[in-house]
């Protein structure tokens, strides 16, 4: 693949490596000089995303130990490009030989070969793999550190698995206190138990299931962003939909706005503690592509993992006949709790990028 996987304008990330390559990593451009990095925090963020944490995740056992090769000295940024490496340790390419002729349903096998030719390495999905979210999480951890210094907090949680929905509203504090107390990263304890039971039942059926992640940002300054093609919403949407398995994004009231009238959906401006804010937050913290100071809230639907153990029928592209396929390997029956960490990370990257742009 000759293309370069780059995102961002001032705070910019470039991914490299593949699912089964010796290592994966990220180059980060635009990180200000003399920022003290919490290396334990960065590793903890990677630990939150890593597989094999419990029976609800893939059992690919990657420790995801990162190290800097450039841009950081004694834990402090130098102002140069930061380069982070993460070794791939637990690679098993033998599972993937059968997919040369039999393309897996809803996998990238067929379109990737149309685009890049038959020589492309798709072991573990290659460059397309969710494995590449690990360096995104590392870069996002640095972005979170920068945001934290500005008093900005980001937190996500699982608000739906299958048809089980948590429609309550929570503060960042509530999310941070509860999200790591259970395997699905839900907030409501009763609903969380139901979500876990549902996934365990799906595992028995050798199938997979999707859900919804809710992301919330508090204390992001008002007046940041631009209209049209580089609004905070459009950049967040582009970033979020770059993460494998995402299927959309809705801000604030989202699709429910289609059922409301203007007098219901409008957010009246009010004074609260001598600051301008809004009585409601149907807009999700952004109007006209620009932040207004209220919490930025959006939800992201996540599809069921495409790799399942259940027998499926698909086309053998060599024989041109239908065949049965049973996928072997280590896959997430529900990717929602892990993709949540990547969504937090890419959100932090977008928000830091916009903060830096707003200062020019």
Confidence band of 334 (pLDDT split at 50, 70, 90): very high
On the 0-12 / 13-18 / 19+ scale of CB atoms within 10 A, 295 is middle
The pLDDT value recorded for residue 52 is 62
283, pLDDT greater than 70: yes
The pLDDT value recorded for residue 59 is 59
Domains in the chain, please, with CATH? 5-358 (3.60.150.10)
What's the start-to-end Cα distance of the chain, in Å?
Answer: 35
Q: Which two tokens stand for residue 324?
A: 């049965």
Confidence band of 94 (pLDDT split at 50, 70, 90): low
Q: Quick: pLDDT tens for 193-251.
A: 999 999 999 999 999 999 999 999 999 999 999 999 999 999 999 999 999 999 999 99
Q: Quick: pLDDT tens for 16-53.
A: 998 777 899 999 999 999 999 999 999 999 999 987 67
The pLDDT value recorded for residue 95 is 62
User: What is the 3-class SS of the chain, one letter each residue?
Assistant: CCCCEEECCCCEEEEEECCCCCEEEEEEECCCCCCECCHHHHHHHHHHHCCCCCCCCCCCCCCCCCEEEECEECCEECCCCEEEEEECCCCCHHHHHHHHCECCCCCCHHHHHHHHCCCCCCHHHHHHCHHHHHHHHHHHHHHHHHHHHCCCEEEEEEEEECCEECCCCCCHHHHHHHHHHCCCCCCCHHHHHHHHHHHHHHHHCCCCCCEEEEEEEECCCCCCECCHHHCHHHHHHHHHCCCCCECCCEECCHHHHHHCCHHHHCCCEEEECCEEEECCCCCCCEECCEECCCCEEEEEEECCCCCCCCCEEEEECCCCEEEEECCCCCCCCCCHHHHHHHHHHHHHHHHHHHHHHHCC
Q: Which two tokens stand for residue 346?
A: 């890419």
The pLDDT value recorded for residue 21 is 76
Structure-token match 């006949």, residue found: 321
| Average pLDDT over all residues of the chain | 92
The pLDDT value recorded for residue 98 is 67
């Amino acid at each position: 693949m000759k293309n370069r996987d780059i995102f961002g304008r001032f705070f910019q990330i470039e991914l490299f490596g593949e699912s089964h390559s010796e290592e994966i990593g990220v180059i980060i451009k635009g990180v200000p000089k003399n920022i003290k990095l919490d290396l334990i925090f960065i590793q903890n963020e990677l630990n939150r995303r890593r597989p094999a944490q419990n029976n609800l995740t893939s059992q690919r056992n990657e420790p995801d130990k990162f190290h800097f090769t450039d841009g950081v000295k004694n834990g402090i940024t130098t102002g140069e490009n930061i380069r982070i490496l993460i070794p791939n340790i637990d690679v098993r390419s033998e599972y993937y030989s059968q997919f040369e002729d039999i393309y897996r349903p809803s996998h990238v096998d067929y379109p990737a070969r149309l685009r890049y030719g038959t020589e492309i390495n798709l072991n573990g999905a290659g460059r397309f793999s969710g494995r590449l979210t690990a360096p995104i999480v590392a870069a996002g951890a640095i972005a979170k550190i920068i945001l934290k210094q500005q008093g900005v907090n980001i937190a996500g949680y699982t608000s739906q698995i299958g048809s089980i929905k948590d429609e309550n509203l929570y503060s960042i504090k509530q999310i941070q206190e509860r999200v790591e107390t259970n395997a699905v990263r839900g907030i409501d304890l009763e609903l969380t138990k139901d979500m876990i039971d549902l996934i365990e039942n799906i595992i028995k059926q050798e199938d997979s299931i999707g859900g919804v992640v809710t992301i919330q940002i508090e204390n992001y300054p008002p007046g940041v962003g631009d209209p049209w093609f580089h609004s905070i919403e459009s950049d967040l949407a582009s970033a979020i939909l770059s993460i494998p398995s995402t299927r959309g994004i809705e801000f604030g009231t989202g699709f429910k706005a289609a059922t409301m009238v203007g007098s219901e959906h409008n957010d009246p401006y009010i004074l609260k503690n001598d600051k301008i804010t809004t009585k409601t937050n149907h807009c999700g913290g952004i109007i006209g592509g620009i932040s207004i100071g209220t919490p930025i809230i959006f939800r992201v639907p996540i599809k069921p993992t495409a790799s399942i153990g259940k027998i499926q029928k698909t086309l053998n592209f060599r024989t041109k006949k239908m065949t049965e396929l049973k996928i072997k390997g280590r896959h997430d029956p529900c990717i929602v709790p892990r993709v949540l960490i990547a969504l937090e990370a890419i959100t932090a990257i977008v928000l830091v990028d916009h903060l830096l742009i707003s200062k020019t």
